[in-house]
Amino acid sequence: MEFRGAVLDVDGTVLRGNERIPGATSGLDALRRAGVDRVFFSNNPTKAPSAYAERFAGAGVDVGPDEVLTSGTATTAYLEAEHANDSLFVVGETGLTAQFEGAGLTVTADPTAADAVVVSIDRGFHYDDLVAAMVALEDESVPFLSTDPDMTIPAVDRDLPGSGAMTHAVAGVAGRSPDATLGKPSAHARRLALERLGHDAERCLVVGDRLDTDIALGASAGMTTVLVKTGIADDRALAESAVEPDYVLDSFADIERVVGDR
């Protein structure tokens, strides 16, 4: 098959921290030679596309902001469509709330004034945040939204808690699950990625290190799925997963095996 587009994960696939994963440049060059358009999609909601472009530049990779989607941009787009005039109570970092406010959305610090609650990664997460979210969600008509389901995120030295951890904590005290989770692998995220690429799903591939987000997104959309073993997923996770990737590569450096398999 001749592929036209690729959805590429970032952390654990192309970058680790602020450094390129070995072979990442070779993988990107292989896509370029094959004429494959790309969009980078991260489930990190705290950085806007422009900040990601700067991060890539610092790692020696030329990526424009228009090539980047995140769970933050996905959540912002959803809120603009569904909650444009609502007051949002947010458990999350300033990098996320700045994206909301930049889109003209209203963020409130008063949980009793919340028309919707958004929960995300927050490295300053505190007991008081849990109390406030619980108060905001006492009214069952208030939507409960999560930026992404990632329980952990890959860091330089070890995996760390992600948005899913805060979401599960809030869900536990609220006694309810999120009404919508907006990052990968949601249908909303799939639509955004395919709209950005402008190609049919069957002509696209998704490359990532997570079975439950990257590979699940691609499988549900009908894309070719490629798991790389440089991030979260290992052989045990692969053996236990209900989602089976089309290809398993040691790293993104080997992507020519896929785009050259025609």
Distance between CA atoms of 169 and 116, rounded to whole angstroms?
Answer: 17
Residue 211 domain boundaries: 5-43+184-259
Residues 133 and 207 in one domain: no
Residues 199 and 229 in one domain: yes
Residues 150 and 174 in one domain: yes
Residues 207 and 252 in one domain: yes
Residue 205 included in any domain: yes
Strands (E), 61-173: 68-70, 87-91, 106-108, 116-119, 144-146, 152-154, 159-161
Report pLDDT for 37.
98
Q: Which residues of the chain have pLDDT under 50?
A: none
Q: State the DSSP string of 179-239.
A: SEE-STTSHHHHHHHHHHHTS-GGGEEEEES-IIIIIHHHHHHT-EEEEESSSS--HHHHH
Q: pTM of the prediction?
A: 0.93
Query: Total domain count for the chain?
Result: 2
pLDDT tens digits, 113-151:
999 999 999 999 999 999 999 999 999 999 999 999 999
Last residue of a domain, one of 146, 165, 181: 181
Residue 72 included in any domain: no
Last residue of a domain, one of 129, 161, 181: 181
> Omega of the bond prior to 185 within 30 degrees of 0, cis?
yes
Residues 174 and 190 in one domain: no
Report pLDDT for 63.
97
Provide, for the chain, the percentages of residues in helix, strand and coil under a 3-state DSSP scheme, each rounded to the nearest 5.
40, 20, 40
Report pLDDT for 48.
95
In the chain, how long is the greatest CA-to-CA distance? 57
Using alpha carbons, select from 130, 241, 120 the residue that is nearest to residue 181: 120
Residue 73 included in any domain: no
CB atoms within 10 A of CB 51: 17
Distance between CA atoms of 61 and 45, rounded to whole angstroms?
Answer: 20
Residue 157 included in any domain: yes
Report pLDDT for 260.
83
Report pLDDT for 235.
85
Report pLDDT for 261.
57
Residues 158 and 194 in one domain: no
Q: State the DSSP string of 86-145.
A: SEEEEES-HHHHHHHHHTT-EEES-GGG-SEEEE---TT--HHHHHHHHHHTSSTTS-EE
Residues 99 and 169 in one domain: yes
Report pLDDT for 160.
86
